[in-house]
Amino acid sequence: MLDLKFKTMRTIFLFVDKDLLIRDLLTGNFLPQLATKFKVVVFMQEKSYLRNKDFLFRGGNVKYEIWPVYNNRFLDWMKTFRSVFIRQFDYLNVQQFKKRNLPRTKFNRWLLPLASAGRSIFTLNLFKFLEKRFLSGKSKKNFRNYIEQHHPNLLITASCGIMNFEAEGLLLAEVCDLPTVAVNFNWDNLTSKVRSLRLPNKLVVWNESIKAIAKEMHGYKDSDVFVSGIVRFDPYFNKDAPRLPSREEFLRSKGLDPNNKTIVYASTADFVYPFQKKLISLLIELRDQGKLLSWPNIFVRLHYKDPIDGYRQFLSQPGVYIEAYASTSLERDALNLKATLLYGDVHLNYASTISLDVCALNRPLINLAFPVEVVARFPNQDFPHYHPLVQIGATRLAHDPMELVGLINGYFLNPGLDSEKRKIIADNLIGNTDGLSHKRIVDFLVDIVS
């Protein structure tokens, strides 16, 4: 009976790249759930150091294949042209910002007027048409060989083709008339990264807000966009998850004093907020001068694009812990992050996606809005995806060091401050908090194929 079921199961191709997206889809509950309904062929890059990790799911219905990315150089060139020529979304402030910050080369200065004049011509659809037309013959032949071998019903990616690896999968699927779905992209991708999109046939999105953007900005039908919740957050709300350590156990394991308050700073890529190392020095200085109540611990969680080498000077500082990014399973990282969030008394970041994690677990949140010249370079807090947090008051902005001191001490004294506003963001931008987003995604894919 099992053999018959296996033979009649339908097949999905999964193209996934980027450490975080691999972690979300291949090391949590999503892939095991998917493999109960489909045979799954997972394509990864040969250079992906996660490819042979023991925490990747390996079940009987899952097969891993290496995809060489035949069109990498071509897609890099297309990215350059897309950044100059696609002007159809210039009404978004984030796209106006990106246009102003294009490299000031003679090439760009000559092409920008042409691009602006032809904004109704140089669209996402035109670039996708050209990319499909000029994909290498070798990649098309190899992809058709895989289709003949596995007879897939669907190709899924995490994001909407922002990265070359997933872009190539989506484009080849369209060339071969294979339906496509993106199932795990970030909340800003349809606005901030719009010029890099290769939009698939259907979308799975985090919340109703992203669904509205997909329909209004990109012309999707209501039935082609499904709201699942955030698969990355499933371990936060999974009732069967392993027990969290106590606050004392957790902070002592990081070399921090559980009797003191804890400030958690989540870093970002250095090119986004280059002030962050100076920020750590500033926090230590303010603490040691007695301006921050409780002589708080300073816990720094590094972004995956922020290497620990730049933070060596802080490793020997008392009451300071720097946590380097480490590739691990979704459950293990999410449980560590959940403890970090719950046991942090105040959370700081520069308008990062992790702000949603903070709101999901309803912890005090402050965003850095200084120094002015740094913020002006990359005004994340004003961009469409993030601005609701500022507008509603789920986060407070610190415009200078003394305002930062006042906000931190205020939250130390009253942790419930702004709690109701964070709940509004959790309801609007996170939605489902039952730990079953992975199951809803798979059920949607079953409906599509059926």
Query: Over the stretch 246-265, which tens digit does the pLDDT of each residue have?
Result: 999 999 999 999 999 999 99
pLDDT of 115 > 90? The answer is: no
Q: Both tokens of residue 437?
A: 């987003």
State whether 148 and 258 are in the same domain.
Answer: no
pLDDT tens for residues 58-99? 888 999 999 998 999 999 999 988 988 888 888 888 877 777
* Mean pLDDT score, 5-22: 84
Same-domain status, 215 and 364: no
Same domain, 288 and 415: yes
Q: Does some domain include residue 119?
A: no
Say yes or no: 271 and 205 in one domain.
no
Q: pLDDT at position 205, please?
A: 97
In 305-408, DSSP assigns E strands to 320-323, 346-349, 365-368, 396-398
What local confidence, expressed as pLDDT, does residue 380 receive? 83
**Mean of the per-residue pLDDT values of the chain:** 92
Rounded alpha-carbon distances, angstroms, from residue 224 to 89, 218, 288 = 22, 12, 55
Question: In this structure, are 268 and 345 located in the same domain?
Answer: yes
299: its two tokens: 């816990």
Share of the chain above pLDDT 90, in %: 76
- Specify whether 193 is located in the same domain as 246: no
Output the pLDDT for position 28: 93
Mean of the pLDDT values across residues 358-362? 97
The pLDDT, as a whole number, for residue 298 is 98
Kindly state whether residues 215 and 244 are assigned to the same domain.
no
pLDDT of residue 337: 97
Reply yes or no on whether the pLDDT at 4 is more than 60. Answer: no
Would you state the pLDDT for residue 24? 94
Q: 20 in a domain, yes or no?
A: yes
Q: What mean pLDDT is predicted for residues 329-336? A: 93
pLDDT(288) > 80: yes
Indicate left, alpha or beta for 122 from its phi (over 0: left) and psi (-120 to 50: alpha).
beta
pLDDT of 379-395, one tens digit each?
A: 888 888 999 999 999 99
If asked whether residues 162 and 287 sit together in one domain, one would say no
In this prediction, residue 104 has a pLDDT band, given cuts at 50, 70 and 90, of low
Amino acid type, 117: A
Res. 110: pLDDT tops 80 = no
**132-153 average pLDDT score:** 97
| pLDDT score of 84 | 84
Whether residue 90 lies inside any domain: the answer is: no
**Whether residue 331 is found in the same domain as residue 269:** yes
Q: Which domain holds residue 148?
A: 2-71+126-234+435-449
- Please state whether beta strands 180-182 and 10-15 pair in parallel, antiparallel, or not at all (unpaired): unpaired
Q: Does residue 424 lie within any of the structural domains?
A: yes
302 and 411: one domain? yes
Residue 236, pLDDT > 70, answer: yes
Residue 345 lies in a domain: yes
Domain count, the chain: 2
> Is residue 355 assigned to a domain?
yes
**140: pLDDT strictly greater than 60:** yes
The pLDDT value given to residue 6: 47
Res. 181: pLDDT tops 50: yes
CATH number at residue 353: 3.40.50.2000
Task: Look at residue 403 and tell me if it is in a domain.
Answer: yes
In a domain, 285, yes or no: yes
**pLDDT for 333:** 93
292 shares its domain with 276: yes
pLDDT value of residue 2: 39
Determine the Cα–Cα distance for residues 65 and 46; give it in Å rounded to an integer. Answer: 9
